[in-house]
Amino acid sequence: MTERTNDLDGTVRELIDGKTKPLGALGQVESIALQLARATGKTAPRLESCELTIFAADHGIAGDGVSAYPPAVTRQMVLNFLHGGAAANVFAEAVGASVRVVDAGVAGDPIDHPDLLPRRIAAGTRNCRIEPAMTETQRDDAIRAGRDLTEDCPADVLCFGEMGIGNTSAASLVAHKVLGLPLVGLIGRGTGLDDAGLERKRAVLEQAAARTGPVLSPAAALAEYGGFEIAMMTGAMLGGERSDRPVLVDGFISTGAALLALGLEPAVERNLIFAHRSAEPGHSDMLDALNARPILDLGMRLGEGTGALLAWPVVRAASAMLTDMASFESAGVSGPA
């Protein structure tokens, strides 16, 4: 940690410990409050707004049958988001968050809708089983677009979600190459593969992984195996660090973007708050490797930013504890003997 962070930590811990409660009585909420202070650089940040940005893109490897759903579902779900019918829309409404939808690289012709943010890099990635998913230029353009989208977002807290048939495969391969975790433990059922489908997915991903060396840099892993939505989300997380705002990291795919962002810019660690533990089996391994403690564990594995949205009320409460909760001194309450 930097000297500034150490000084801030001491001030915020003293502030939290001085609130009208026993020491440590609010458990993880206190840790979240400290993380909010680190992310913003303020001892008592007032955080009242949250926006979810959903990045959508297709993956060439989906053509190898690694998902229970066909690639066309990516486009169909983008339209569902735009019409307000997805779980992410419903959860956002329930917790008072706004939603943006971004075409980072959906297959087919560009989608024409007034509420869609068109940032498509290409009409889906190439098949990473046989060749790099994207060029270095495409990777860099996607990261840059994500950063720019964060700058355009006025919310106090940032949530990022994703949609892309085949993207659990991409995240598994990225985590395997960057973290050095065994690939087999990172491969789950994704959208609900049956046993035969899971075996097929494992075989395809093993072929893809064998195409490159055992360990890759984050930038190389992203180009070789990532998706345009993952690259754009990586850039958006880097933008959160640049703008001193907390980033609520969703589940398996979003954690893949987070580990890439951390590899590209370690300082982003102060901004990342891990929202929930996905039921996708490799997510726990990724969280452990990042020494991350998620807020929620609800057995979810949907994506879309749904877990991040459900964590937002807890994060907002942690902020309110810093800004609005009385101290022993201000309330005239006796402290511990």
Catalytic residues: 304
**3-class secondary-structure state, position 50:** strand
Helix (H) or strand (E) holding 159: strand 157-163
* Cα–Cα distances in angstroms (integers) from residue 147 to residues 108, 158, 240, in the given order: 25, 12, 8
Structure token digits, residue 218: 């984050």
Residue 309 CB-density burial (10 A; 0-12 exposed, 13-18 middle, 19+ buried): buried
**Contact between residue 223 and residue 136 where contact means Cβ atoms under 8 Å apart:** yes
Measure the CA dihedral 106/139/181/270, to 10°.
-100
* Cα–Cα distances in angstroms (integers) from residue 270 to residues 111, 236, 289, 322, in the given order: 36, 15, 17, 17
Structure token digits, residue 180: 């050095």
**Contact between residue 129 and residue 211 where contact means Cβ atoms under 8 Å apart:** yes
Structure token digits, residue 275: 């929202």
* Cα–Cα distances in angstroms (integers) from residue 130 to residues 64, 127, 146, 265, in the given order: 11, 6, 27, 29
Measure the CA dihedral 193/199/202/203, to 10°.
-130
Q: What is the spatial distance between Cα 181 and Cα 218, in angstroms, rounded to a whole number? A: 14
